[in-house]
Amino acid sequence: MHNLKIFFFIFSFFLIFLYLHNVSRNIVYFNINQTENILSDFGFSYIPILSENYLYLSEYVFTFIICSNIIIIFIHPDFTKILSSAFIILSILYFFRSISFLSTQLPSPGNNYI
């Protein structure tokens, strides 16, 4: 029972940092200067554009990885410790990502990404 209280405490911190991340992302995206400068990327000049047959390949790969990890986590006998560790790591990452959102100036994304 004590582990479950700790788990929900850690999960509440995860939700707080997730909310902070979403608020900072929205602040940056809605208050960004509408410049037409495009960041040059080394990969665009050397990697060819994939055809439409491979458009959803990354989505399938990520879905397989995430689903298999969820299944492995819930099969493990001590899944609350694993989920608690994952939520702590994600909370820290969301915190630093929200700081990097607010401290970085980038041009606005293309219209097809909004």
pLDDT at position 69 is 85
Over the stretch 29-70, which tens digit does the pLDDT of each residue have? 776 655 555 556 666 677 777 777 777 887 888 889 888 988
DSSP 107: P
DSSP 85: H
**Is the model's pLDDT at 19 over the cut of 90?**
yes
pLDDT at position 74 is 83
Backbone angles phi, psi at 10, to 5 degrees: -65, -40
pLDDT at position 16 is 93
Mean pLDDT of the chain: 79
**Is the model's pLDDT at 99 over the cut of 80?**
yes
With beta carbons less than 8 A apart as the criterion, state whether 7 and 80 touch.
yes
With beta carbons less than 8 A apart as the criterion, state whether 91 and 14 touch.
yes
